[in-house]
Chain A
Amino acid sequence: MPGQKFGPAWFPGLIAIGLAICGALLVRAGLREHAPLFAMPQWMQRQRPRRAVATVLAGLVAYILLADALGFHITGVLILAVWMRALGASWRLTVAVSILSTLVIHLAFYKVLRVPLPWGVLERWAF
Chain B
Amino acid sequence: MGVLAQAFALVFDPYVLWVILASAAFGLFVGAVPGLTATMATALLVPVTFFMPPVPAIASIVTATAMAIFAGDIPSCLLRMPGTPASAAYTDEAYALTKKGQGELALGAGLVFSVIGGLFGTAVLIAAAPALAEVALKFSSFEYFWLVVLGLFSAVFLAHANPLKGIVSLLFGLLVSAIGLDNPAGFPRFTFGNAELAGGFTLIPIMIGMFAVSEIIRNIGSIDEPWEMAQTKIGNVFRGMWTLTKRYPVQTLRGSVLGTAIGALPGAGADIAAWMSYAMSKRFSKEPEKFGTGHIEGIIEAGASNNSALAGAWIPALVFGIPGDSITAIVIGVLYIKGLNPGPTIFMNNAPQIYAIFLVFILANLLMLPLGVAAIKGAKQMLRAPREVLMPVILLFCVVGSFAINNSIFGVVLMLAFGLVAYVMEENGFPVAPAILGMVLGAMLEENFISSMIKADGRIFAFFERPIAGSLGILTLTVASVPLLRRLYRAAR
B221 lies within 8 A of A80 (CB) = no
CB proximity of A98 to chain B, nearest CB, Å = 8
B168 lies within 8 A of A109 (CB) = no
Contact partners of B187 in chain A: CB under 8 A? 1, 7-8
Contact with B along A26-47 (1 / 0, CB 8 A): 1001000000000001010010
Given contacts A22-B167, A43-B221, A60-B399, contact A12 B51 (CB under 8 A): no
A52 to B222 CA separation, bound complex (whole angstroms)? 10
In the complex, which residue of chain A has the Cβ closest to the Cβ of B438?
A15
Secondary structure at chain A's binding surface: helix, strand, loop or mixed? helix
B223 lies within 8 A of A29 (CB) = no
A67 lies within 8 A of B391 (CB) = no
Contact partner of B183 (CB less than 8 A), chosen from A8, A29, A48, A63, is: A8
CB proximity of B83 to chain A, nearest CB, Å = 20
Contact partners of A83 in chain B: CB under 8 A? 391-392, 395
B120-141 interface (Cβ within 8 A of A): none
A43 to B48 CA separation, bound complex (whole angstroms)? 34
A87 to B390 CA separation, bound complex (whole angstroms)? 10
B380-414 interface (Cβ within 8 A of A): 386-389, 391-393, 395-397, 399-400, 403-404, 407, 409, 412-413
A64 lies within 8 A of B222 (CB) = no
A59 to B398 CA separation, bound complex (whole angstroms)? 13
A6 lies within 8 A of B454 (CB) = yes
Contact with B along A55-79 (1 / 0, CB 8 A): 0110111011001100010001001
A49 lies within 8 A of B222 (CB) = yes
The reply on B468 being an interface residue by CB < 8 A is: no
CB proximity of A44 to chain B, nearest CB, Å = 8
In the complex, which residue of chain A has the Cβ closest to the Cβ of B186?
A8
Contact partner of A5 (CB less than 8 A), chosen from B183, B396, B400, B454, is: B454
B50 lies within 8 A of A22 (CB) = no
Contact partners of A122 in chain B: CB under 8 A? none
Given contacts A12-B175, A41-B427, contact A29 B164 (CB under 8 A): yes
B33-61 interface (Cβ within 8 A of A): 47-48, 50-51
Contact partner of B404 (CB less than 8 A), chosen from A5, A23, A49, A113, is: A113
A8 lies within 8 A of B388 (CB) = no
B168 lies within 8 A of A52 (CB) = no
Task: From A5, A48, A79, A115, name the one whose CB has the most chain B CB atoms within 10 angstroms.
Answer: A115
The reply on A114 being an interface residue by CB < 8 A is: yes
B409 lies within 8 A of A101 (CB) = no
B223 lies within 8 A of A19 (CB) = no
A101 to B172 CA separation, bound complex (whole angstroms)? 36
A115 to B388 CA separation, bound complex (whole angstroms)? 27
Contact partners of A7 in chain B: CB under 8 A? 185, 187
The reply on A117 being an interface residue by CB < 8 A is: yes
The reply on B165 being an interface residue by CB < 8 A is: yes
CB proximity of A39 to chain B, nearest CB, Å = 9
CB proximity of A48 to chain B, nearest CB, Å = 5
Contact partner of B165 (CB less than 8 A), chosen from A4, A26, A68, is: A26
A64 to B151 CA separation, bound complex (whole angstroms)? 36
B396 lies within 8 A of A102 (CB) = yes
B391 lies within 8 A of A87 (CB) = yes
A46 lies within 8 A of B389 (CB) = no
Contact partners of B393 in chain A: CB under 8 A? 80, 97, 101
In the complex, which residue of chain B has the Cβ closest to the Cβ of A85?
B388
Contact partner of A4 (CB less than 8 A), chosen from B174, B175, B185, B446, is: B185
Task: From B213, B395, B458, name the one whose CB has the most chain A CB atoms within 10 angstroms.
Answer: B395
Contact partners of B165 in chain A: CB under 8 A? 26
A114 to B391 CA separation, bound complex (whole angstroms)? 25
A80 lies within 8 A of B168 (CB) = no
A79 lies within 8 A of B396 (CB) = yes
The reply on A10 being an interface residue by CB < 8 A is: yes
The reply on B449 being an interface residue by CB < 8 A is: yes
B178 lies within 8 A of A11 (CB) = yes
In the complex, which residue of chain A has the Cβ closest to the Cβ of B393?
A101
In the complex, which residue of chain A has the Cβ closest to the Cβ of B216?
A56
Contact partners of B172 in chain A: CB under 8 A? 19
B178 lies within 8 A of A52 (CB) = no
The reply on A53 being an interface residue by CB < 8 A is: yes
A25 lies within 8 A of B164 (CB) = yes
Contact partner of A41 (CB less than 8 A), chosen from B221, B388, B396, is: B221
A105 lies within 8 A of B400 (CB) = yes
A2 to B310 CA separation, bound complex (whole angstroms)? 47
A125 to B11 CA separation, bound complex (whole angstroms)? 41
A108 to B48 CA separation, bound complex (whole angstroms)? 9
Task: From B184, B189, B213, B400, name the one whose CB has the most chain A CB atoms within 10 angstroms.
Answer: B400
Given contacts A12-B175, A22-B164, A22-B167, 7 further A-B contacts (CB under 8 A): A4-B185, A7-B187, A15-B174, A52-B223, A80-B393, A84-B392, A101-B393
Return 6 A-B CB contacts under 8 Å, by A number: A84-B392, A89-B389, A101-B396, A109-B404, A113-B48, A117-B400
